[in-house]
Every structure is written in structure tokens, then in C-alpha cells.
């Protein structure tokens, strides 16, 4: 397939060195190859660029104008390449970020704000919503998602976990007691999402359990309020209910079977290399999380919520799906 630039580099080299022989030496090619490429360029353009004699090579009037334009294009390309390399070292530009706001986004928003403070050349546009956005169609650079990955056309970086616990009001537990295991949940009233399913850690990765109750919601705040009012057991992120657990308005079931650690991912469009500003954000996220999965009894600052997610310090890149 012929490229628009085919022959131009050879033409520029002939002009600047003054001969086909010198141009061939400069380009590391044969004289016949350089001559052929320039001739093909002239044929493609339908003009004569060079006047050839046995003693010298000179440009035609059209050749002079064409050389000047090609020289300027090459300089612009070199400048653009240099600028791209500098951006990879010193990030600039904008990052459009999608967050899932089913549960509180205070912590993750604070992390992204801290990133913006550290890298003032990067502008952040943060969107929060309950649906999974179309990264490419809606022009997002990265989305924070939880759980299983489904879209194999995207890339993902594992950044940690969203750790869930079972909890209920003291009044509910006083009347009904705490469940003794997953099978015992059928004897309890549960407040749940619209799908009426909870997940638990298991040796096979995760166990899906259907629960029953008369209060459902797609928002974590509504589930938390219902649990505090004694409407049933709830499965909620530990950091999301940390203040209520500390105050005693909610009590967690402190048994290892009752927890679920949902993987947290940064999802982004395919492409190599990862842009500097996005790569720095991914690294920044990973460094703000510890390796341990969160549990209610861990002593953690309520104001900083610095273990909302718990992940590896090294980002792991995978193909989604």
C-alpha cells in the first residue's frame, strides 16, 4: 500500500545532500533505491521535481516549493513527536473519570482530588452515576468499577477491593439474633439491591445467594437507612458504614463467612502506551491502598477512610473479560 509520504524522505535527502549517492549514504540505502523512490514520487504527483544531469542534481521551480512544504511538515512532525514524548514525562491535558455512586464516593473523590493537586497540569472531569458508562462512545478516559469484568474490548488495572460486611440495627439483632451462616439467611429479613442477591467469599471465588425482604433499593444510602431503622440485615461496604458501626447504630456480623471482598478495577480503552496522565492516576490510586482487605475491627481513621479499598501496591494490567 502506497503511503502519502513514500519517496518524500528520499527526495528531501537528495535535495539537502546534493546528490543521489550522498542521499543513499545518509539513508543507508542503495543509490538505485533512492532514485527509484524519487521517480515514483514524481510519477505519482505528475510533476518533475528534480533536473538531473551527469554532473549535478537541482530542483525545478515546482520542486523548490514542494521541498519547502515537505521540510516544514517534517519539522512539524518532529515537534509533535517531541511534544508527545514530553507529555509522557510531564503529564498535561484532561482526564474524564467515571465513578459508581451506588455507595459513597467521598474517598475515591478525595484521592482523585489529591492527584489533581499533585499534578496541576492535568484537568479532571469527574462524573458519578449508578450505570456503567460507554467509555469510548462517551469519551471517558477511565472508569472505576467493581466485581466481574464483561467487556473484552477494554483494558483494566486491578486497584484493590471493596469489602462488604453483614450488618443490622441493635434492635433487629436483639429480636432475631445474628445469622450463623449463609444457609441461615433464609430465616432473616434482608434489605437488598433490586436483584435480591448477595455475594460472599468462597474457595471458588464468590458465592451468589438470593435473599428475601420487603425493602429494596439501588442506592446504598437507602439500604443503610433501612437497616438502621430495623427493617432487616444489610450487606454494605465496610467503609460506607464505618461511622455507624463505630457509633453502634449498626452492628456487623463478625464471622469470616459473612464478608465479601469485591475486586475494584480501573477500566480504560485499549491503546499502547497508556497516556502519561492516565498511567500516573492508576499508579496514584494503587499507592493509596493497603494490601489487607478491610474488616470492621480494623482501627482506621474515620475522617480519612484510608482503607476504603485495599489492594496491591503494584498495578496489574489485564484485558477485561
252 and 279 fall within a common domain? no
Quote the pLDDT of residue 102: 87
250 within some domain: yes
Tell whether 172 and 256 lie within a shared domain.
Answer: yes
At which residue does the C-alpha cell 510533476 appear?
47
**For the chain, which residues score pLDDT lower than 50?**
291, 300-321
CATH code, domain with 227? 3.40.190.290
Domain finish residue from 32, 63, 84: 84
What gap in Å lies between CA 24 and CA 109, rounded to an integer? 57
In a domain, 314, yes or no: yes
Q: What is the pLDDT of residue 197?
A: 94
Last residue of a domain, one of 84, 118, 151: 84
Q: What is the pLDDT of residue 26?
A: 92
Q: Are 101 and 42 in contact (CB under 8 A)?
A: no
Bridge-based pairing state of the strands 316-319 and 197-200: unpaired
Determine the pLDDT at residue 308: 42
Give the count of alpha carbons within 13 A of 252, CB side only: 28
Same-domain pairing of 218 and 188: yes
Cα separation values, 151 from 155, 173, 279, Å = 9, 41, 21
Sign of CA dihedral 128, 131, 134, 135: positive
pTM: 0.64
Residue 1 covered by a domain: no
Q: Report how far residue 44's alpha carbon sits from residue 59's, in angstroms, rounded to the nearest whole number.
A: 17
Are 184 and 156 in a shared domain? no
pLDDT tens for 300-314 read 443 334 434 444 434
How many folded domains does the chain comprise?
Answer: 3
State the number of CA atoms in the 13 A half-sphere of 48 facing the CB.
8
Are residues 29 and 79 located together in one domain of the fold? yes
Q: What is the pLDDT of residues 222-257, one digit of tens each?
A: 999 999 999 999 999 998 898 999 999 999 998 999
Report the chain's mean pLDDT, rounded to a whole number: 85
Same domain, 52 and 135: no
State whether 144 and 280 are in the same domain: yes
Residues 50 and 188 in one domain: no
Q: What is the reported pLDDT for 191?
A: 97
Q: What is the pLDDT of residue 310?
A: 43
Structural domain ending residue among the three candidates 54, 84, 114: 84
Domain range for residue 180? 163-260
* Co-location of 239 and 296 in the same domain: no
Rounded CA gap, 280 and 57, in Å?
A: 52
Residue 3 within a domain: no
268 and 133 in a common domain: yes
Beta bridge partners, 251, equal 168
| Alpha-carbon gap, residue 230 to 216, rounded angstroms | 14
**pLDDT score recorded for residue 289:** 62
Beta strand 260-268 with 215-216: parallel, antiparallel or unpaired? unpaired
- Report yes or no on 110 lying in a domain: yes
CATH of the domain at 157: 3.40.190.10
**Pseudo-torsion of CA 63, 65, 68, 73, nearest 10°?**
-100
Classify residue 7 as left (phi > 0), alpha (psi -120 to 50) or beta. Answer: left
In this structure, the answer to whether residues 153 and 269 fall within a common structural domain is yes
211-231 confidence digits (pLDDT tens)? 999 999 999 999 999 999 999
All cell numbers assigned to 195: 436483584
CATH code of residue 65 = 1.10.10.10
Amino acid at each position: 500500500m502506497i503511503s502519502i509520504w513514500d519517496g518524500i524522505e528520499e527526495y528531501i535527502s537528495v535535495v539537502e545532500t546534493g546528490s543521489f549517492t550522498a542521499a543513499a549514504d545518509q539513508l543507508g540505502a542503495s543509490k538505485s533505491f533512492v532514485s527509484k523512490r524519487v521517480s515514483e514520487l514524481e510519477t505519482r504527483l505528475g510533476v518533475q521535481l528534480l533536473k538531473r544531469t551527469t554532473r549535478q542534481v537541482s530542483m525545478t521551480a515546482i520542486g523548490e516549493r514542494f521541498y519547502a512544504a515537505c521540510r516544514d511538515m517534517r519539522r512539524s512532525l518532529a515537534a509533535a513527536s517531541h511534544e508527545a514524548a514530553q507529555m509522557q514525562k510531564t503529564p498535561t491535558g484532561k482526564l474524564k473519570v467515571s465513578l459508581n455512586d451506588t455507595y459513597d464516593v467521598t474517598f475515591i473523590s478525595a484521592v482523585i482530588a489529591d492527584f489533581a493537586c499533585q499534578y496541576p497540569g492535568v484537568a479532571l472531569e469527574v462524573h458519578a452515576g449508578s450505570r456503567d458508562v460507554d467509555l469510548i462512545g462517551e469519551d471517558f478516559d477511565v472508569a472505576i468499577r467493581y466485581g466481574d469484568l464483561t467487556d473484552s474490548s477494554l483494558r483494566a488495572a486491578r486497584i484493590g477491593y471493596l469489602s462488604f460486611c453483614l450488618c443490622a440495627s441493635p434492635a433487629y439483632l436483639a429480636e432475631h439474633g445474628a445469622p450463623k451462616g449463609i444457609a441461615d439467611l433464609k430465616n432473616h429479613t434482608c434489605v437488598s439491591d433490586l436483584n435480591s442477591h448477595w455475594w460472599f467469599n468462597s474457595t471458588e471465588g464468590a458465592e451468589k445467594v438470593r435473599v428475601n425482604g420487603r425493602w429494596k433499593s439501588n442506592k446504598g444510602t437507602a439500604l443503610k437507612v433501612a437497616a438502621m431503622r430495623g427493617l432487616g440485615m444489610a450487606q454494605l461496604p465496610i467503609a460506607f458504614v464505618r461511622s455507624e458501626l463505630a457509633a453502634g447504630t449498626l452492628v456487623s456480623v463478625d464471622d469470616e463467612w459473612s464478608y465479601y471482598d469485591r475486586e475494584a478495577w480501573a477500566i480504560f480503552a485499549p491503546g499502547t502506551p497508556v497516556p502519561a496522565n492516565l498511567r500516573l492516576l492508576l499508579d496514584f490510586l494503587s499507592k493509596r491502598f493497603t494490601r489487607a482487605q478491610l474488616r470492621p475491627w480494623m482501627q482506621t481513621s474515620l475522617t480519612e477512610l484510608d482503607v476504603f479499598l485495599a489492594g496491591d501496591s503494584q498495578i496489574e494490567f489485564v484485558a477485561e473479560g
